[in-house]
Structure 1
Amino acid sequence: MDLKLSGKVAIVTGASVGVGRAIARSLAQEGSRLVIVARGKERLEAVADALAAEGFERPLVLALDITQPDTPSVVRAAVLEAFGTVDILVNNAGGSRPFEGLGTARQWEDAMALNFHAARELTHALIDDMRSRRFGRIVNITGGDEPVAINGAVPPNGATHIWAKALSRHVAKDGITINSIPPGRIHSEQVDNKLLPTDEAQRRWVEENCPAGYIGEPEDLSALVAFLCSPLARYITGQVIHVDGGARRFSH
């Protein structure tokens, strides 16, 4: 299927590893022109080199901390200077923040800054450029908002879902969609090194939680991102779409 993404300018945050890297590659495969953002310049350059070696246009590399107040304006200026426009934003940077006890005020502030405010501020910095062209696709890679334990990422996930729903209603008439994807367990540095660091832990989690019978690969998620970014997905907006092998137990 031709997703009609050739020539579209796409920004992917948290693009240096795992899911973000897979999303960047899926968009490159569809012909998008990429801007990849993360803190680690060396890893970003490696992603850019790998994509170029496959024959894709080399992405614009922006080694930035997205939680810094000036990052949205820096990203916008760099993208417009390089490409003249922006069509797609994938807010992928973020991560689980389990706390011991209740968490400190600083821990909660940092969790909100990374998992909610950074994506919101970057989106707000770019949304008028999308509106002026009457096309835009925003996809937020979030996480579960079921409070099964005290984790600094869970309230920001819920906040992102609510904010994205509100924004989707505000900009739908301008040809812009905004959707959120909470991944289940997907092979990544976070899952393989922190949450489920052994084969036994992964096997046990799958047996107890995942009807599909396996932990997902980054490409299982990136394929959906590419579709949601396409003109073909014009009637899908304001949604929270779980990619988790059926692990979530609720029907809504």
Structure 2
Amino acid sequence: MDLQLQERTALVTGASMGIGAGIARVLAREGVRVAITARRGELLEQLAKEIEDAGAVRPVIILGDITDATDVARIAAEATSALGQVDILVNAAGGSRPIKTDAPDSDWDEAFALNFTSARRLTQALLPAMRERRWGRVVNISGSMEPRSLNSATAAKAAMHTWAKGLACDVAPDGVTVNCIPPGRINSEQILNRLHPTEENRQAFIAKMIPIGYFGEPEDIANLVAFLASPLARYITGAVMPVDGGMRFSSN
């Protein structure tokens, strides 16, 4: 299927590893000119070389910290300058933040800065130009809404869902869609090194929670991102679409 993405442009956050890197690879493969941003420059360079070696256009690298409001404005400006315009924004940065019931405000503030506020700020920075052109795509990588323990990132992703649904209604008449993808267990740095660090733990979780029988790959998320970013998905907005192998406690 031709996704009609040739010559479109995209900014992908959290692109140094895992889901963000997978999204950058798939979009570039579909002919999108991509800007990638994260804090780890060496990993971004490796990804850019990999994409170029695969025959796609080398991504624009923008180093930055999306939890910093000044950096967000700079990243948006640099991406726009380098690409000419940003048609597609993929807010892929984020991270789990298990916390105690008496966690201080600073822990909550950090989790929201990374998992919600950064996406809101970057979207707000790029949205006026999308609306003026009457075409744009915002895809947010969010999270499960059925936590089994206290996690400040889960609360931040819940905020992302409701924000995105409301925003989608406001900008739909201007040709801009806004959607969220909550990933299940994906083979990424965070999942493999922190959440499920042993093969025994992974297999036990799969047996109990994942009907499809295995963890997903970043490209399983990226393929849906590419579709939602395409003109073919023009009638899908305000949606929350899990990609989780049927993980039974996923919920909208």
Q: Does the alignment pair 1:65 with 2:65?
A: yes
Q: Does the alignment pair 1:144 with 2:144?
A: yes
Gapped regions of structure 1 (runs ≥ 5): none
1:213 deviates by: 0.8
Q: SS at the partner of 2:69?
A: coil
Structure 1 counterpart of 2:126: 126
Q: SS at the partner of 2:214?
A: coil
Structure 2 counterpart of 1:27: 27
Aligned residues with identical type, % of pairs:
51
| Residues 250, 157 of structure 1: alpha-carbon distance in 2 compared, 3 angstrom cutoff | closer
Task: Work out the CA distance in 1 between the residues paired with 2:14 and 2:251.
Answer: 30
The answer to whether the Cα contact below 8 Å between 2:89 and 2:139 also exists between their aligned partners in 1 is yes
Structure 2 counterpart of 1:195: 195
Task: Work out the CA distance in 1 between the residues paired with 2:83 and 2:98.
Answer: 39
Q: SS at the partner of 2:211?
A: coil
Structure 2 counterpart of 1:82: 82
1:152 deviates by: 1.1
1:119 deviates by: 0.3
1:59-101 residue CA offsets vs partner (Å, 9 max, x unmatched): 1101100011112321222122212211000000001001134
The answer to whether the Cα contact below 8 Å between 1:102 and 1:150 also exists between their aligned partners in 2 is no
Task: Work out the CA distance in 1 between the residues paired with 2:83 and 2:194.
Answer: 38
Q: SS at the partner of 1:143?
A: coil
1:249 deviates by: 4.0
Matches within 5 A, 1:228-247: 228-247=228-247
Structure 1 counterpart of 2:106: 106
Q: Which moved more, 1:225-234 or 1:69-78?
A: 69-78
Task: Work out the CA distance in 2 between the residues paired with 1:129 and 1:250.
Answer: 34
**Alignment RMSD (CA, Å):** 1.1
Q: SS at the partner of 1:70?
A: helix
Task: Work out the CA distance in 2 between the residues paired with 1:58 and 1:208.
Answer: 41
Instruction: Give, as a single letter, the amino acid of the residue that structure 2 aligns with 1:222.
Output: A
Task: Work out the CA distance in 1 between the residues paired with 2:19 and 2:37.
Answer: 13
| Residues 105, 181 of structure 1: alpha-carbon distance in 2 compared, 3 angstrom cutoff | same
Q: SS at the partner of 1:117?
A: helix
Task: Work out the CA distance in 1 between the residues paired with 2:159 and 2:113.
Answer: 12
Task: Work out the CA distance in 1 between the residues paired with 2:175 and 2:122.
Answer: 19
| Residues 170, 224 of structure 1: alpha-carbon distance in 2 compared, 3 angstrom cutoff | same
The alignment of Structure 1 onto Structure 2 pairs a total of residues equal to 252
Structure 2 counterpart of 1:212: 212
Gapped regions of structure 2 (runs ≥ 5): none
Task: Work out the CA distance in 2 between the residues paired with 1:221 and 1:249.
Answer: 18
| Residues 71, 248 of structure 1: alpha-carbon distance in 2 compared, 3 angstrom cutoff | farther
1:215-240 residue CA offsets vs partner (Å, 9 max, x unmatched): 11111111001000000000000011
Q: Does the alignment pair 1:161 with 2:193?
A: no
1:116-141 residue CA offsets vs partner (Å, 9 max, x unmatched): 10000000000001011111000000
The answer to whether the Cα contact below 8 Å between 1:161 and 1:180 also exists between their aligned partners in 2 is yes
